[in-house]
Structure 1
Amino acid sequence: MTTLDVLLPYYGDVALMKAAVRSVLAQTDEDWRLTVVDDGKEPGVPEWFAELGDPRVRYFRNEQNLGVTGNYRKCLGLAEYEHMVFMGTDDIMLPNYVATVRACLADHPGTAIVQPGVEVIDSTGKPSTTLADEAKRRLYAPRLRGRTVMGGEELATSLLKGNWLYFPSLCWRTEAVRAMGFRDDVEIIQDLALVIDLLQAGEQVVIDDTRCFQYRRHNVSVSATSAFSGARFAEARRYFLDVADRLDQQGWHRAAKASRLHLAARIHALTLVPGALRAKQWTGAKALVRNATSTAAQPR
């Protein structure tokens, strides 16, 4: 009996999407169903899925663009099985992904989230080492070996210092996510917000170091205005300050302090300032500095 929904909210590069789909088809454990929800209008995509002729693969194309959060909500509504994955359309499941997460769930039934081992790749598919990922591994992620269960304020504090999870690689218990839903007030930081909500509700995370997923980290052009607008960090800052108040109300004061400081997000914003200046994105540079240095809300 199928127990894992692989959900692919798709928009963007067709070739990368096809590679992601093929990686699901290549799983050694066939206990999965793939659902692709296409939020774009790229030609030839519906025909490609029709030609696959695989009953384990469902394909839907939205009549109107739903945007990131809207498409994730639609995918969530289509999930029917006990566990699910919101896979990125440019990421790769290694052949042992489904087998690995199922083993984690067998050892720890009822767990809300599984974080398996992840390898970071670049836009060409080669293993990649970036400053952001090295910071995740060396500074923020706990030094764990094998398979470990974490939860509560300890894990919330760790993630609010620096989010070391890889959202597209996570396996979720479907009903746990449905109980929380996706927030309307965040988009880029939606994954962290959902995890913190679940931790506050008493859910736990299994962390396994078996490498079974490739997360693609794309290079961002220094000339891209959106990369330096500062909007993503403004959203993050609003979230961190809001959730800090809720954490204090719960008595999780260490996690609240980490959220108000949101040090990793502030450092990341600061590292983008030189690129914004080189690209002559003056307004964006000011916004980045403001989000990196603001002390509008101090720890209680």
Structure 2
Amino acid sequence: MIEILIAHYGDEGQLHEAVTSVLTQSDPRWRLRIVDDSPTESVGSWASGLPAEQVVYEANPIRLGVAGNLQRCLAHASCEWVVFLGCDDLLHADYVARMHSLIESFPQATVILPGVEIIDGAGAPHLPTTDRVKRLLNPVGTSPVLLSGEPLLAGLMRGNWTYFPAMAWRRRTIAETGFRQDLPTTLDLALLAEVILGGGELLVDPRPVFSYRRHAASASSVTAANSERFVEERRLFEELARNSRAMGWDRADRAARRHLTSRLHAMTLLPRALRRRDGAMSRVLARHTFRR
């Protein structure tokens, strides 16, 4: 059985679409748990009409934030495999069936990443630069492949080509570690790195069974959120470099210290911050881009 967990906040219409994509699965071996971090009367009323035998709806009494709500989802889950479906993403009708097939064929897998298609806010096919880069970095070919150890971690340190909401995780492997509350924007990479350092294996499947929604953002916006993310990324990369050295993984250590695509991302934002004369943001971006 696969438990699909939705840590909800935000757009109700897209939540309905996400839930519908679960309800219409061709394989019935799933459960759905919605943990609502921004509960409203309308969402609660709508959720009460969902099939109670497979769907659980919980409204948080206080707002937990992204990291806290994901941890609550994990803590309340009970199935062997869990998926943290984004509240604006979509499962294809054969997602659960494909996952069960892969679990049976690759029992040693700890985490499974299926093929992913990118859509925009309106649900239309979309492939911005970020996802073009992810495709170039993704090592999968024409058939499923198991990845592990230093080569996998080193590749992710060069650039994170995974899609967290599409991934299925063996629950017992991540239950004790859980989600880092001090890394709200990079907790997915931190969790995956912890699994890899602990000897886990990632199964990557090229067959697309998931639609990831990439919302358009203003090309001119350089926000405080960007600044916080880069500070957080640097802290995580420094930590993973130390952990890699402790494992004797020299390539992963170097890749974490260099974090190439993260630096390139900061470099692309720097000219905009300079044009806006945003000194604080410019310093963060310059430090992330050029500091050794």
Counterpart CA distance in 1 for 2:211 and 2:56 is 23
Question: Which position in structure 1 is the counterpart of 2:28?
Answer: 30
Q: Does the residue aligned with 2:223 lie in a helix, a strand or coil?
A: helix
Count, aligned residues: 292
Q: Which amino acid aligns with 2:169?
A: W
Q: Does the residue aligned with 1:290 lie in a helix, a strand or coil?
A: helix
Question: Which position in structure 1 is the counterpart of 2:16?
Answer: 18
Displacement of 1:273: 2.3
Gaps of 5+ in 2: none
Q: Does the residue aligned with 2:63 lie in a helix, a strand or coil?
A: coil
- Residue pairs, 1:114-125, within 5 angstroms: 114-125=112-123
Question: Which position in structure 2 is the counterpart of 1:298?
Answer: none
Q: Percent identity?
A: 37
Q: Does the residue aligned with 1:144 lie in a helix, a strand or coil?
A: coil
Question: Which position in structure 2 is the counterpart of 1:197?
Answer: 194
Residue 174 in structure 1 maps to residue 168 in structure 2: no
Q: Does the residue aligned with 1:29 lie in a helix, a strand or coil?
A: coil
Choose which of 22, 45, 60 in structure 2 pairs with 1:47: 45
* CA pair 159-50 structure 1, distance change in 2 beyond 3 A: same
Per mean C-alpha deviation after superposition, the further-off stretch among 76-85 and 264-273 is 264-273
Contact 2:222 2:272 survives alignment (8 Å): no
* CA pair 90-258 structure 1, distance change in 2 beyond 3 A: same
Question: Deviations for 1:195-224, whole angstroms, at most 9, x for unmatched residues?
Answer: 111111111011111110000111123565
Contact 2:140 2:205 survives alignment (8 Å): no
Counterpart CA distance in 2 for 1:234 and 1:101 is 35
Question: Which position in structure 2 is the counterpart of 1:162?
Answer: 159
Counterpart CA distance in 1 for 2:225 and 2:30 is 39
* CA pair 147-36 structure 1, distance change in 2 beyond 3 A: same
Choose which of 239, 264, 270 in structure 2 pairs with 1:242: 239
Question: Which position in structure 2 is the counterpart of 1:150?
Answer: 147
Question: Which position in structure 1 is the counterpart of 2:265?
Answer: 268
Instruction: Detail structure 1 runs of 4+ shifted over 6 Å in the superposition.
Output: none
With structure 1 as the length reference, what TM-score do the two structures score?
Answer: 0.93
Displacement of 1:185: 2.5
Contact 1:228 1:276 survives alignment (8 Å): no
Counterpart CA distance in 2 for 1:111 and 1:266 is 31
Displacement of 1:69: 1.0
Counterpart CA distance in 1 for 2:280 and 2:220 is 14
Choose which of 282, 287, 290 in structure 2 pairs with 1:290: 287
With structure 2 as the length reference, what TM-score do the two structures score?
Answer: 0.95
* CA pair 202-53 structure 1, distance change in 2 beyond 3 A: closer
* CA pair 31-241 structure 1, distance change in 2 beyond 3 A: same
